[in-house]
Structure 1
């Protein structure tokens, strides 16, 4: 059994301006961020999500924390080998398929990379489970096995 340990270090009142260091300094706006065991959130983004009940930055960033548990953000959170193989066949294949498709109800940010895909589909699993199951039942079923909860029954 995997033991998850994390901390919320900062909740900013507004959207966060993050400065990327490098040859050219770049400022980007972020609504939240998760790195290893640290979560940074924007209170404005949390409130926005609570009003719409469609997306959820808290779920998104904590999904990243789960994904980081094995030391790499690859869209595959810690799980046993059998489940990991099934995950690769279903979730990661669906990610690749959707990257070549224009018919998607899932936010296009999910297609940035496998780690973002896992975080975004986790949001849908908890926030819009009926819609996720209707359009992508295989994704819903894999997340149900991973999270060990049937979120449709919670509605």
Structure 2
């Protein structure tokens, strides 16, 4: 499927950043660097490292509440190059967070959406894939 919206059971999309009038901050860094350590290495084995470079942003998931509560939201609108999440006005003061997922790592960065956000829209290019997910060209909330 060109627009892979589910990743490991979480509704997710790839994104490169955010730009909106009420909130103009980078939503997810486009790449991160991580370290990894081996634990309980069996006797007789050495530990080496593959050189992968930085981990590229692979997906964003929108949550109703805190990411730790695992209430990911399915977009209200899903098309080949667009996904939109709409939030009711009665719940505009509710906390919502996003989770930024990266290729070849289990590291996830989380960030709260501003209070009062009524919708978020992701547009993406299904011809560019990062670990099987379409690259998002924008992620905007208003």
TM-score, structure 1 length as denominator? 0.25
Higher strand share: 2
Higher helix share: 1
Relative CO higher for 1 or 2, CA cutoff 8 Å, sep ≥ 6?
2
